[in-house]
Amino acid sequence: MDATYKLRIQQTKTLFSPLGEIKTRSQFGGYSVVVGGVMFALILEGKCWLRGIRGSEYRYHELGMRKLIYTKRGIPVSFNYYHVSETLWDAPATLIKLGRQALEEACRERQVRASHQRLKDLPNIGQGIERLLWKAGI
């Protein structure tokens, strides 16, 4: 880990500490930022990216945040994460509010996902059987 990553990780942990115990782990060639097992931000190439909040893209654009576009095998892939600019680092109250909203939205998505268990997640049912059952209307 180079100095740029170390500095940004420390800055992120310090700023978002009011949200809970901040943990980081290696992910996507960068580091995920996690509170209570829920990822709400990403440190990639020494930059911080906040998880997108449903219906708030216009607000991110107003704040000058751009969407993360990652090139995978030569194909650009858009992720629902938005760049935290230096201007936002200078407005900690706004950034903490955005971080809290991102964390709350990530928690809601996790709860919805947990309540919609897929058939393939059941014992002895794979993806192929699941597909056949869906075709049969089950």
What is the side-by-side strand order in the sheet with 67-72? 22-27, 30-35, 38-44, 47-51, 75-83, 67-72
Domain count of the chain?
1
Tens digits of per-residue pLDDT, 15-39? Answer: 999 999 999 998 878 899 999 999 9
Tens digits of per-residue pLDDT, 53-106? Answer: 777 788 888 888 999 988 878 888 888 899 999 999 999 999 999 999 999 998
Task: Specify the CATH number for the domain of residue 122.
Answer: 3.30.1460.30
Tens digits of per-residue pLDDT, 114-137? Answer: 666 777 777 778 888 888 887 777
DSSP run (H or E) holding 8 = helix 3-15
Domain containing residue 9? 3-135
pLDDT grade for 1, boundaries at 50, 70 and 90: low
